[in-house]
Amino acid sequence: MAALLPTASGTPAAATEIPVEPPAGMRRRRWIPYALLAPGLLWLAVFFVYPVFQLVMASLWDPSGSVETGYTFTWAFSNYADAWEMFHVQFLRSLWYAFITTVVCVALGYPLAYAIAIKGGRWKNLMLVGVIAPFFTSYLVRTYSWKAILSDSGPVVDFLKWVHILGPDGRLLATEFAVIAGLVYNFLPFMVLPLYASLDKLDTRLLEAARDLYHGPVRSFFRVTLPLSMPGVIAGTLLTFIPAAGDYVNAQLLGGPNTQMIGSVIQSRFLVVNDYPIASALSVMLMVTILVLVTVYVSTAGTEEVV
Amino acid sequence: MARRIPLSPQAQAVLAAMPSRRTVLRGALAGGAFAVAGGALAACGTKGTNGNTAGPSAGPLCTVADLSATERKVAFSNWPAYMDEDEKNAEVHPTLVAFKAKTGIDVSYTADINDNNEFYGKIRSQLAACQPIDRDIVVFTDWMAATFIRNGFAAKFNPDKVATFAKNLAPTLRSRQFDPNMEYAAPWQSGLTGIGVNTGVTKEVRTVDELLTRPDLKGKVTCLTEMRDTMGFMLMSNGKDPGNFTTADFDAALEKLKAAVASGQIRRFTGNDYVQDLAKGDIAACIAWSGDVIQLGFENDKIKLVTPDEGMMLWSDNMLIPITSPHAANAMALIDYYYDPKVAAELAAFVNYVCPVAGAQEEMVKIDPDLAQNPLIFPNAEMQAKIKIFKPLTEAEEKEYTGKFQAAIGA
pLDDT tens per residue, range A46-90:
999 999 999 999 999 999 888 878 899 999 999 999 999 999 999
pLDDT confidence of residue A4: 46
pLDDT at B59: 54
Distance (Å, whole) CA A252 – CA B186: 34
Count how many pairs of residues, chain A against chain B, have C-beta atoms within 8 Å.
141
Q: Residue by residue, what is the 3-state secondary structure of A123-175?
A: HHHHHHHHHHHHHHCCHHHHHHHHHHHCCCCCHHHHHHHHCCCCCCCCCCCCC
Contacts of B133 (CB under 8 A, 6+ apart): B123, B126, B127, B322, B324
What is the Cα–Cα distance from A137 to A131, expressed in whole angstroms?
Answer: 13
pLDDT tens for B191-246 read 999 999 999 999 989 999 999 999 999 999 999 988 999 999 999 999 999 999 99
Q: For residue B88, give Cα distances in angstroms to A279, B10, B92, B94.
A: 47, 22, 8, 11
Rounded to whole angstroms, the Cα distance separating A70 from A93 reads 33
Q: Return the pLDDT at B298.
A: 84
Is the predicted pLDDT of residue B376 greater than 50, yes or no? yes
Torsion sign over Cα A282, A285, A291, A297: negative
Q: What are phi and psi of A243, to 5 degrees?
A: -70, -30
Residue of B nearest to A150 (CA): B282
Chain B residues lying within 8 Å of A66, measured CB to CB:
48, 395-396, 399
For B149-218, what is the HEC assignment? Answer: HHCCCECCCCHHHHHHHHHHECHHHCCCCCCCCCCCEEEEEEEEEEEEEECCCCCCCCCHHHHHHCHHHC
CA-based nearest residue to B313, from B235, B258, B380, B253: B235
Distance CA B386, CA B399 (A): 28
The mean pLDDT of B173-184, rounded to a whole number, is: 91
| pLDDT at position A302 | 66
Mean pLDDT of B91-113: 94
Residues in chain B: 411
Asked if B125 is an interface residue toward chain A (Cβ–Cβ < 8 A), one would say no
CB B343 within 8 A of CB B367: no
Name the 3-class secondary structure at B286: strand
Does the pLDDT at position A157 exceed 70? yes
Query: Which candidate from B17, B33, B403 shows the least CB-CB separation from A271?
Result: B33
The answer to whether B322 and B154 have CB atoms below 8 angstroms apart is yes
- Cβ of B228: how many Cβ atoms within 10 Å? 23
Contact residues on chain B for A61, CB-CB shorter than 8 A: 45
Alpha-carbon gap: A3 to the closest alpha carbon of chain B (Å)? 32
What tens digit of pLDDT does each residue of B377-393 get?
899 988 889 999 898 88
- In angstroms, the first-to-last Cα distance of chain B is 24
Section A212-219 average pLDDT: 92
Q: pLDDT exceeding 90 applies to what percent of chain B?
A: 61
Model confidence at A1, pLDDT cuts 50, 70, 90, reads: very low
Query: What pLDDT shows up at residue B81?
Result: 78
pTM of the entire structure? Answer: 0.80
Find, among B380, B206, B204, the residue nearest to B307 by Cα.
B206
In chain B, positions 20-39, which contact chain A (CB-CB < 8 Å)?
24-29, 33-34, 36-38
Q: Residues B373-378: contacts with CB within 8 Å, 24+ apart?
A: B374/B294, B376/B192, B376/B290, B376/B293, B376/B294, B376/B305, B377/B290, B377/B294, B377/B348, B377/B352, B377/B353, B378/B354
The Cα B405–Cα B112 span in angstroms is 27
Average pLDDT, chain A: 88
Q: pLDDT tens-digit profile of B73-96?
A: 999 999 887 899 888 888 899 999
Q: Locate the chain A residue with the closest alpha carbon to B16.
A: A144
Alpha-carbon distance values, B238 to A1, B209, B252, B330 (Å): 58, 9, 8, 46
Angstrom distance (rounded) from CA B178 to CA B341: 25
| Residues in chain A within 8 Å Cβ distance of B151 | 68
pLDDT mean over A93-117: 97
* Cα-trace Rg, chain A: 24
Q: Report yes or no: B318 and B145 within 8 Å, Cβ to Cβ.
A: yes
Does this complex have an ipTM over 0.90?
no
CA A78 remoteness from chain centre? 30
d(CA B377, CA B88) in angstroms, rounded, equals 25
